[in-house]
Amino acid sequence: MNTPENVLGTEPAFIVNGAGRSFGPGASHTTALEWLRNNRLTAAKEGCGEGECGACAILLAQTDRDGATSWTAVNSCLIPMASLDGQEMVTSEGLGSPEQMHPVQQALASGGGSQCGYCTPGFVCGMASEFYRRDRTPLAQDTQQPTPGERGPNGFDLHSLSGNLCRCTGYRPIRDAAYSLGAPTDDAWARRRDEPAPGYRATDLKRSDGQFVRATTLKQATTLLAENPTAILIAGSTDWGVEVNLRARRAPMVIAVDRIPELDSILLTDTEIEIGAATPLSEIERVLDGRIPLLAQLIPQFASRLIRNRATLGGNLGTGSPIGDSPPALLALEAQIVLTSAERQRVLPLADYFTGYRTTVKEPGELIKSVRIPLPLSNLSAFHKITKRRFDDISSVAVAFSLHIDDEVITKARIGLGGVAATPLRAYATEKMLTGQPWNRDTIKGAAAALGAEGTPMSDHRASSSYRSIMLSSALIKLYTENNLIMEATP
């Protein structure tokens, strides 16, 4: 198998379907999808250009926690091709051929899981990622129906396809194809998992439309940012990719920070958990494994698996959006944000970070290094995301609760809100009303009314201001009711 180092010196180079390829001509903002299609690998399609349909999905060889390779499905329409310098990727053409179909392709074809075929290559890559997941194990033989976690008898997690949309076939034959898959045979892609994934290379690509640079150290990133304070920082590029595709935005310089060790890490101590700003959400979910229950509730509701395989907390906070999913949960967890520049590092409460609509205290030349969550955690938490769809949707209202209840008394209350003001915010008035009060219906009823009055909710195409206020009030009542039902059911 060829390696990127075999191709044209310092120009960005990749392994695509087992063969070494170079970047070649093209703009620095060229997405992976554009590059593939320009190079006659046309199975991946552009359906939405913003990571919602999955028609563009491909597989990337990513390093797992054991130093081996995990085949990870991502949206190629959002990723700058230059950011994949040194990397290995596989498209649906590379998985199989008409003469020798891959087991995933064969299952979809045999089960009637493809009609017009536009979305099928994306489903193939999403399904193949789950097919090759190392810890996928069949359920007990007496389990005939999918579990509440929506896993098939073969252990296939249906949420691995949550970012793939189909408008022709319907999802049952696609689901049945996924649930029919056995264990991988000894094929090239299965064997590839036992080898380390290629390392990311330092990249400096200059074209007429701008410059793309991959920083490999924190010092290099902060120095570049000090010299180019208007540069765009990317890690997963799940937000910037949308700007490039749908709004035709371009930047004189784009700096990738996704492989800087201090930014791609998770540190656990007795007093706090520090999450690097460029750590993908899927990796946070795997490493923490439920250790922070509030994040364990949040992450599965954050976009889709395809997006979470790239998206980061730093990116979600960096946009300053009032409807980002992570800020309410992090506010409820009393998180701190670590900001770093070439001159200094400073740590401040996340509650002090947002200053206005999409504005923050982050100064030119600063980047988000990490998020720190103090320990111990409260003993009752919940994340409520009110949307029009169950998954893969933008919230109309998001509410995160972190309460400590001791002998039926609320000794501490932290509540984070999103979608009800120009910034994410803490519900300070409601927190004060709850603290020191008994955990009973009267307390909750009074505090629910206060919560409904928090923020300055507006009316827009997602919800009216009155609806948002009602959702705030009902969220606290829902928390109380659900917690009591759980307690009553516990022996």
pLDDT (tens digit per residue) in 168-214: 988 999 999 999 999 998 899 999 999 999 988 899 999 999 999 99
- 34-72 burial: b if 16+ Cβ within 10 Å, else e: bbbbeeebebbbbbbbbbbbbbbbbbbbbebeeeebbbb
Average the pLDDT over each of 84-88, 226-230, 384-388, 485-489 and give the range with the smallest value. Answer: 485-489
Q: Where in the chain are all domains bearing CATH 3.10.20.30? A: 1-199
* Helices vs strands, H then E, count in the chain: 16, 20
Q: Is the pLDDT of residue 393 over 80?
A: yes
**Helix, strand, or coil here: 36?**
helix
Residues of the chain with CATH 3.30.390.50: 380-489
Confidence (pLDDT) at 10: 74
Find all residues with CB under 8 Å of 469, minimum gap 6, and list them.
420, 452, 453, 457
Ordered DSSP codes for 396-443? SEEEEEEEEEETTEEEEEEEEEESSSSS-EE-HHHHHHHTTSBSSHHH
For position 193, what pLDDT does the model report? 94
The answer to whether the beta carbons of residues 96 and 187 sit under 8 Å apart is no
Q: Around Cβ 468, how many Cβ atoms within 10 Å?
A: 23
Under 8 Å between Cβ of 56 and 77: yes
Question: Band of the pLDDT at 7, cuts 50, 70, 90?
Answer: very low
The answer to whether residue 48 scores a pLDDT higher than 90 is yes
Is the pLDDT assigned to residue 30 strictly greater than 90? yes
CA distance 92 to 114: 14
Domain 380-489 bears CATH identifier 3.30.390.50: yes
The amino acid at residue 124 is V
What span, in angstroms and rounded, lies between the C-alpha atoms of 392 and 223?
36
Share of the chain above pLDDT 90, in %: 86
Give the ranges where 164-217 is alpha helix by DSSP (H).
Answer: 171-179, 188-192
Taking residues 267-281, report their average pLDDT.
98
Which residue is it, tokens 């988000």? 368
Is 255 a residue whose pLDDT tops 60? yes
CB of 193 within 8 A of CB of 135?
no
- Statement: residue 8 has pLDDT above 70: no
Has residue 257 got a pLDDT over 90? Answer: yes
d(CA 131, CA 160): 10
Q: What is the largest CA-CA distance in the chain?
A: 72
> Within its chain, how far is the Cα of 333 from the centroid?
19
Report whether 215 contacts 193 (CB < 8 A). no
Topology of the domain covering 1-199: Ubiquitin-like (UB roll) (3.10.20)
Token representation of residue 162:
């949550």
Q: Which residue has the tokens 């923050």?
A: 360
Whole-number pLDDT of residue 487? 64
Q: Which of 163, 162, 164, 142 is nearest to 153 (CA)?
A: 142
Looking at every residue in the chain, the average pLDDT score rounds to 93
The pLDDT of residue 1 is above 50: no
How sure is the predictor about 388, in pLDDT bands with cuts at 50, 70 and 90?
confident
pLDDT in tens, 332-361: 999 999 999 999 999 999 999 999 999 999
Contact between residue 13 and residue 87 where contact means Cβ atoms under 8 Å apart? no
pLDDT digits (tens, 9 = 90+) for 107-136: 999 999 998 999 999 999 999 999 999 999
**266-374: in CATH 3.30.465.10:** yes
pLDDT recorded at residue 2: 43
- Residue 455 to residue 472: CA distance in whole angstroms: 10
Q: What is the pLDDT of residue 139?
A: 85
Q: How far apart are CA 430 and CA 451, in angstroms?
A: 6
Residues carrying CATH 3.30.465.10, the chain: 266-374
Q: Which two tokens stand for residue 172?
A: 């049952």
Q: How far is CA 451 from CA 244, 448, 456, in A?
A: 38, 5, 11
Asked if residue 376 has a cis previous peptide bond (ω within 30° of 0), the answer is yes
